[in-house]
Structure 1
Amino acid sequence: MVASLSGWLQLRHTSRQLHSRLAPFSTSHASPSPSSSSLPQSTPSPSQSQEKERGAFSKLLLFLPGAITFGLGTWQLFRRQEKIEMLDYRRQRLEMEPVTCTRNNMASSESLEFRRIVCEGDFDEKKSVFVGPRSRSISGVTENGYYVITPLIPRETAPDGVQTPVLVNRGWVPRGWRDKVVSGEEDLDKPSTSSVASNTGDEKTASWWNVWSKKPTSPKAKEIVVPPPVKVVGVIRGSEKPSMFVPPNDPDSGQWFFVDVPMIARACGLPENSIYAEEIEDEHTAGAKNPYPIPKDVNTLIRYSVMPQDHLNYTATWYTLSAAVTFMAVKRIKTKKVRL
């Protein structure tokens, strides 16, 4: 018994020595270092913050196309309202009584735009200007041509007529008609002052017999026949505003691509503030002998290339596109979240 007790004590002493020798190694691996325990664990690195900023900016860029298309659709609504107001303004002006083109009421031409006027005088055909090319659809067939702008010169003997020269857009003519006029093969149909023999005279006065006849000729044997002045019913207009694709006018070569009233007036030898009117169809033009020029229809003067209904269609298109790209952006963002 004594021997067994002494053996147990010796074994216990040996285990304590072994534990004391292994204690430094176990504590060095188990206890954390003071430097590592002092650092905060939730502090993000600079690279992580930059990645978050880039992610937020990329999300905003996904919604940019939707915002732009939505803005374009809203702008079309404002343009539609402007066109409606302008069309009502033009209709009201055209329904007013025609203005007699005299010196007094032509002092302010800008305030008379889209007012109908009545002018009388003679066309100076030699100073005609051809603006074009301008297309016209005839029975479903499109044909190129020009607009003819001719100065209307007043007659001093007609106090009720025009007292100042007026540039008149007489209407549309085909290309071949214009080429013949420019080359001199064909003259425009214009009234001119001419002298004709009287029908009351004897037939001998129109032959060589009058030279040998002793019968004196009467001063009333010949009389001057003056044709009536040309009456024009038109609408006062201003210069056109060409797009960036229209080339500039070249008066020296006779190339006119758009209506520039001051420039055309200078080319015709008229003041720059001359009145410019577009002739419209009425009972006077309906009975004309020549088919050309073709005056404008009054309904075409109150039309735009893009009407209010077209703006409404454009609005629906832009809004639909905005909704589509916005839906795609939202779906894109949700897909990224699921992957994360």
Structure 2
Amino acid sequence: MSASKTFLRQARSFKSARGISKDLWRPIAPKCPSCRYLSQSSRRPKAEPADDPNFMSIVDNPPNLVRAGRRHGPGLIVLALIPITAFALGTWQVQRLDWKSKLIAKFEDRLVRDPLPLPPHIDPTAIHDFDYRRIYATGHFRHDQEMLIGPRMHDGHDGYLVITPLEREGGGTTVLVNRGWIAKKFKKQADRPDGLPKGEITVEGLLREPWKKNMFTPDNSPQTKEFYFPDVVEMANLTGSQAVWVEETMDPDLLKAWEWEARGIPIGRAAEVNLRNNHTQYIFTW
């Protein structure tokens, strides 16, 4: 009798003596190593596209040949024009930057020079060569011919620009002087007696070229004395003045500007060049 059978007989006798269930003492049959592979091979594998005999992959398809003489659609032409247009606009802005920089440098050179006396008679065609030139003129203001241009904003407040003809003595001509900005509440002259100087006065300012009208600005109405932009020729004909535009200047002083604003005295501009120069930004944009 083998040892294994002797061990099983002893285990059964011990089980019956202890009252243990037969199921707990059932011998474990050893698994065959090949059964594992048989159980795995009995499972159905997942179907793959390549299992289909009619399956055709990308590399099996014949290549599409592009003809060299084929015309392209309008979309491709537009895409090709975008970098060309951007390059042209950027080049144009480089030229504009050079022109604007030289213009500002020329005006700043005129500002540092001593002011010149305004001649009795001025050739309007020569004003271009003296734009932003500091000058001074002596005479008395014709407040009865005063004109207001507006609305104009100053530090967030609504108001007007005061334009007053300056009549010069000794046979001199009358010129238009932009005296500066006043608040809207001082539109009537009776409300600003301090802003109406009498007698002979010397005005120091900048000789400027006539302004150009913006396409969105409405036309002036000289009959009702409503002016939205400074039309130098029109305002000169209305007041019998020469078409010469002078912008009165003052030293930048915040406390003085507040005092003048409260008293209705026109606040003149600073003696500086105020031309926009955004061409560098436009270059990087394009």
TM-score range, shorter chain: 0.5 to 0.7
Superposed, which structure 2 residues align to 1:242-257 within 5 Å? 242-257=213-228
Q: C-alpha distance in 2, partners of 1:258/1:303? A: 17
Q: C-alpha distance in 1, partners of 2:192/2:208? A: 30
What is the deviation of 1:110?
3.7
| Counterpart selection for 1:136 from 146, 154, 158 | 154
Q: C-alpha distance in 1, partners of 2:224/2:113? A: 40
| Counterpart selection for 2:265 from 292, 308, 313 | 292
Q: C-alpha distance in 2, partners of 1:177/1:79? A: 41
The one-character-per-residue Cα deviations of 1:252-285 (angstroms, maximum 9, x if unpaired) are 12121111111011111224xx3210000149xx
The one-character-per-residue Cα deviations of 1:166-201 (angstroms, maximum 9, x if unpaired) are 1100001111111x33xx555563344xxxxxxxxx
Superposed, which structure 2 residues align to 1:81-92 within 5 Å? 81-92=98-109
Q: C-alpha distance in 2, partners of 1:127/1:165? A: 12
Match of 2:89 in 1: 72
Superposed, which structure 2 residues align to 1:165-180 within 5 Å? 165-178=174-187, 180=188
Superposed, which structure 2 residues align to 1:1-340 within 5 Å? 52-53=70-71, 55=72, 57-103=74-120, 106-107=122-123, 108-137=126-155, 142-156=156-170, 163-178=172-187, 180-181=188-189, 184=190, 187=193, 189-192=195-198, 227=199, 229-271=200-242, 274-282=243-251, 290=263, 292-299=265-272, 302-304=273-275, 306-307=276-277, 310-318=278-286
Task: Report percent identity of matched pairs.
Answer: 29
147 and 256 in structure 1: CA distance in 2 versus 1, 3 angstrom threshold: same
Greater RCO, 1 or 2 (C-alpha within 8 Å, sep 6+): 1
87 and 165 in structure 1: CA distance in 2 versus 1, 3 angstrom threshold: same
- Gap regions ≥5 residues in structure 1: 1-47, 157-161, 193-226, 319-340
What amino acid is aligned across from residue 176 of structure 1 in structure 2? K
Q: C-alpha distance in 2, partners of 1:155/1:67? A: 61
292 and 265 in structure 1: CA distance in 2 versus 1, 3 angstrom threshold: same
Give me the TM-score of the superposition, normalised by structure 1: 0.56
Q: C-alpha distance in 2, partners of 1:246/1:291? A: 26
What is the deviation of 1:296?
0.3
SS of the aligned residue for 2:222 comes to coil
Q: C-alpha distance in 2, partners of 1:313/1:125? A: 44
What amino acid is aligned across from residue 303 of structure 1 in structure 2? N
What is the deviation of 1:111?
3.0
Q: Identify which range, 106-115 or 287-296, moves more after superposition.
A: 287-296
Q: C-alpha distance in 2, partners of 1:109/1:57? A: 51
SS of the aligned residue for 2:226 comes to coil
- The alignment yields a C-alpha RMSD, in angstroms, of 2.7
How many matched pairs? Answer: 212
- Gap regions ≥5 residues in structure 2: 1-65
Give me the TM-score of the superposition, normalised by structure 2: 0.66
Retained in 1: the 8 A contact 2:195–2:265? Answer: no
Q: C-alpha distance in 1, partners of 2:238/2:111? A: 30
What amino acid is aligned across from residue 296 of structure 1 in structure 2? R
The one-character-per-residue Cα deviations of 1:184-224 (angstroms, maximum 9, x if unpaired) are 555563344xxxxxxxxxxxxxxxxxxxxxxxxxxxxxxxx
191 and 61 in structure 1: CA distance in 2 versus 1, 3 angstrom threshold: closer
